[in-house]
Structure 1
């Protein structure tokens, strides 16, 4: 499958959609997820049926935006569907039969890059015919052609003969319940700092690696004699009161 997106937004989007449902008991959580997915599948299927296009509208808009840059590129035919596409000193080799370009944008995204579009326009052919099959409207409809059947409520379920199944006892753990998704070690965000270990500190007055500016004897203020503040809560002295 071709895709030029680097980040994985699918998991994050699904996590945001179920952020309220996952706080509830397991049966209630699954029921809300089922209703959400059922409604989404139906809406996407109706949306795709309204498209009278060969490719999806987002891909068509991308192609229309790139057409404004075609006039800057000069195409030279080399062989059967082989072209040199150049702009001043930039040259890219395009093979339409293999659907490849030297910039690798076509292979990565599945949509013809501006160099490939220039070669396609040189042959007076339709650019949408060279788009990957992943982005055609028919493929979009096949993704959402399945349906999730509706279910009756719990009051319509057949009664169970025997002892009723009770939920487990609710336990309250220490601390505030966590809402955010647990991230792996590679996803943890934090401040990106560079260690100064081993770095040579120079004085801005003498320009020598001997001391800092605050401790320099040539400074007008002289070396600082103020005591360092201690971390922690401030305790009022008699004078402060």
Structure 2
């Protein structure tokens, strides 16, 4: 249904004149993608296969390191994130974390 609606739409809506010239597609900047872009910045300059292998290696390392952490729901504060003796408390309502990040 959605595809039919788009295909039946007036083509002028998809004309380049209706898009901002300042929009860039080589990087996205928001709270979720900024840390990811920082981590993969070196890999992004490589050919596609090398880039994907570099990103995969970094992702595998992060996954391995993340298995050391435990996340527990805490009804009063949101979540407690623990690794050994280190504990951080996330308050989802206030959007804060005791790690101060």
- Give the number of the structure whose residues are more often strand, by fraction: 2
- Give the number of the structure whose residues are more often helix, by fraction: 2
Which structure has the larger Rg over C-alpha atoms?
1
Q: Normalized against structure 1, the TM-score is what?
A: 0.21
